[in-house]
Amino acid sequence: MDNHVESNSSDPDPKRCIVIIDDEIDLLTVYRKALEMSGLVVSSFSDPIMALDEFKINHSKYSLVMTDIRMPSMNGYELINQIKKIDPFVKVIFITAQEVSKSEIMSKLDDGIVIDEYISKPVSLEKLNQAVFSVIKSNR
């Protein structure tokens, strides 16, 4: 099973390119397909280390990183701490099935790092699209 699937679109607009990381492959596939149908170019990873490697090489291509928090090998907090060292301006959405407080999120992220959105699973595809496009369009 591949740990990485990239959209087949050749859209070079970084505002339309996002990375999704989730170890639940079925959910990852649903999210990717839904967002592609909305016109985004999506790179999806079930392995956060592979996602980080991709981001290191092609970070200027992406405007948004959406990641699960609890994953094996590297959790979402560790991943975002590393990603923000590479590109402090990339936007971030955490998505998780676990109850997580804002104080827990802030305590696990390096000083100065903020996230743009937090989504609880299960999430409707409509809410997913709304959250992603709201974050992409925001100027923060």
Question: What was the pLDDT predicted at 15?
Answer: 67
Q: Which amino acid is at 113?
A: I
Question: What was the pLDDT predicted at 7?
Answer: 46
pTM of the model: 0.88
- Number of domains observed in the structure of the chain: 1
- Tell me whether the omega of the peptide bond preceding residue 122 falls within 30 degrees of 0, making it cis: yes
Instruction: Look up the CATH number of the domain holding residue 52.
Output: 3.40.50.2300
pLDDT tens for each residue of the chain, 140 residues long: 345 555 444 444 656 899 999 999 999 999 999 999 999 999 999 999 999 999 999 999 999 999 999 999 999 999 999 999 999 999 999 999 988 888 889 999 999 999 999 999 999 999 999 999 999 998 75
Question: What was the pLDDT predicted at 2?
Answer: 43
Question: What was the pLDDT predicted at 3?
Answer: 54
Full residue range of the structural domain in which residue 126 is found: 4-137
